Structure 1
């Protein structure tokens, strides 16, 4: 026998007690009401399975009560009871939603039988609904599991990002999504985004050690990001082996706000994604081991081409930059003949090892031939590539085997870089510009006059050499000497400031050394106002003013300018300089002893900047 909760409604106390006692005796939970209005109040406060009501009552009668009760709860069963054997009332009761109709006096057995039959239907409907809900939940879980398997089936990091974003958006009904993935240093880097997200508002990287993120990431549960109201967006960590390997942001739900169900679903997908990211890293590590050249440890060209293709895809889709570097041993045949095969092989191995030390884990160095190598620098602009070339050259110079060989034969290493999309949007274009810059280095005064052999701190010695006639300038050189002209130096400062204003977000360095006071340097007044908040970023030009303090009052501070006072350095008494390097151009100007030397020779300008930084302990970018 089915039991349930029954509400007995009758305006006569006798019948209330009678029906309630009979039903309670059969195991049902019963409550009573003496009017239709009171019954509606009880129905609003409690959940019932069956409404047993008299038809004829003052105020709200039984038929109207059933009609209103069914409107509120269509699953509520109802039985009507009346003392009048009136067919019309029975029909009205059935139309109002009653399951059965009884007349007074009601026999005990009939009442219990009818109640049991009606409650049996309630029980069957409830079981059916529960079974349907369980089946739907199971089907939903199975569908989520199958989507998770799609993520696990991939060992390509970028494919995993795309799949995770797509599935997370779909299962949570989010209209915007973004995903950060941990790099080799544990920093969370923005790897993908889709839908209604403000790309400019997304941090390109997140330090998981920062207090704002550390605790939430360690917890592993979905949480509200600090920049969004509750319900409008949430973050879910990707955690594998208790290590945060990523972070997903979901925002702008299409219908309603995010709740516990969306949080639980997103966490399930995030668990699959975290395992996939971990597996992709392990596979990539194994893949790299099997794709290296035995002699040098560099990757083979086939792997490099495949990796470069993926980098092109990422750069085009997400608006990223990357750089291609070409390394060439210009006198490889001469080295092989004069140093011998074995020593030459050791030099090449050490050269590759030194270049690899300057690279990051994400950078790929590949062997093209015995004398040529490619380096791919993901998410690196042209200025960043120039900094890599400098670090690589420094590391190569430290190698003992290379220094030993150079006692007999110089090791002529030329390097050139090209950047996507600045220099081209396909591999052939980038390679063309990288080769052109290798040729530029070969023809640079730095190579022709062996100026790079000077001591790393020999900035002023190099400046004196370039200003004097002892360093002859070839006709094809992008360098020239002319008579000293104070207005020319001032104009160069203003032009450098205008170059900064044209693209204030481009990375670069400007060093201006003056013999007068720093407060009156023309470059200061020509610079754009600058953004104090942006100065700490990675993509702004940094301006350094070097020289004596001067007698003039100090100028107001400028957010782009760092002043370096060198009152005790006598070289500033008669010499001035301007050195400018950015993503788009390089220019150097030296003035002293009545002469001016200026150049757009990129390797030469970089050498001057490097030696200036070493001399005055200026931190390089």
Structure 2
């Protein structure tokens, strides 16, 4: 056997020297280059048994390098080398043509075992190739060899199951075939997988003399059962520690017997089938355990970051919006201390399950740390993210608690969102803003006044019940914690409120392209007011305008204003709720003596968002 030739492509000199030491100590020939292009050029001039490609390199990364090598050498053995934190990319590389993969840090024994396995496979394929050239049954063997290559090209486990049965049935003339599978080899039960008719599934049975049949399976070679060939041809494919696979072929066309040629053909196919199944199992295991969190069935943060990078590319190229929802269990340590890890995991799992039921199938949810979750909302702007948070909050009602059967504690779940460009133009700034916003959220007046469980009018009543001393104290707290200030003016007049309403309307009309929502409280909703006529004169407003009050006279005929009629027992209130992609503001005023009003105002964004959300629910509005 000639000396094994290895080409290693890695931009890191340390690993190039490491590979040289390992290969030379085994008597292998090795050349190293520091980039994919140079490696491709070298492959045009020289032949190598195996090419090792590092996943992360400048210019051509590992996947690009593999694709370029496949263009000039489709059958080249390629070992992809990747970091243990980059397993999602490893899956992509396996699908794009890598023969095997190994993880850094390099284990020399594992690397050499991988190389020997590929060399042995090449020897088998070489022997098959010689057999093709020498056999008088040239056409049939060529067909078998092609099926081997077809099998090796399939990485999807479910598709591979049916492909193996079909390939062996075609080559032997079997009209029926079953894929027998057993987990935990020797300990589990055999079951049939793949596309099988109801009748065949009902009639699927292993031989009565199971022990003798199992001995034949353990021998690893195809065998006839019974031995006269009129029964079934069994082809062992896998017989490892984890799983066992046997393909059963029966009902040969023309009521003929299976023969020695069928045994030899399926023996060839079984070798390729074993390699293909192991590769497919490896990819499936990577996708199941490395990409998705086993406990909560959501994506890991490493893959989430990968998706965000893709989303940034799409957003930058096509100007498409996206948002990120950040969820933080603020009292996770207290919950764990009180109930223990298992109870907390169960409660969080229930909570996450509820969330997964209400978000879209295209949304990506991940867990970063203890009690920290992110949801990527593609094609979603700032206002869409607010609606998503509302759906989440509605969906988790009744599940925000941890219990041990005797006592329970509420989960203090804080939810905020950030949107591309509005809150940041890169990943770090967006995620940092999300975390900072959650910290501010917990200090918001919305929580300090205990409003989360209150409806619209209960919340307004709680706010308006604050006296001047309380307002001053809340303002000092807000400023000290870096939150938007709050304030009140006991001597505002009704005329001032009218001027304030006109000021906000003018701002909306001066920038008709800016998306937003403006809610204005009036005594009587009528299309004939000065304010309504002013808004009606402008077309194509991106900001939705709502006028809220008792129903007045006149037929409503202003398309860019939505009238909202108060319920019978509700009293008109001077109020302005304003929200757009730049700012948020709330003004509340109630009449005092004479023309005076008592008032409250704030630009606390979280309080603004929540009050608008409650107003929307109370009056069943489609506000954006």
- When Rg is computed on C-alpha atoms for both structures, the one with the higher figure is 1
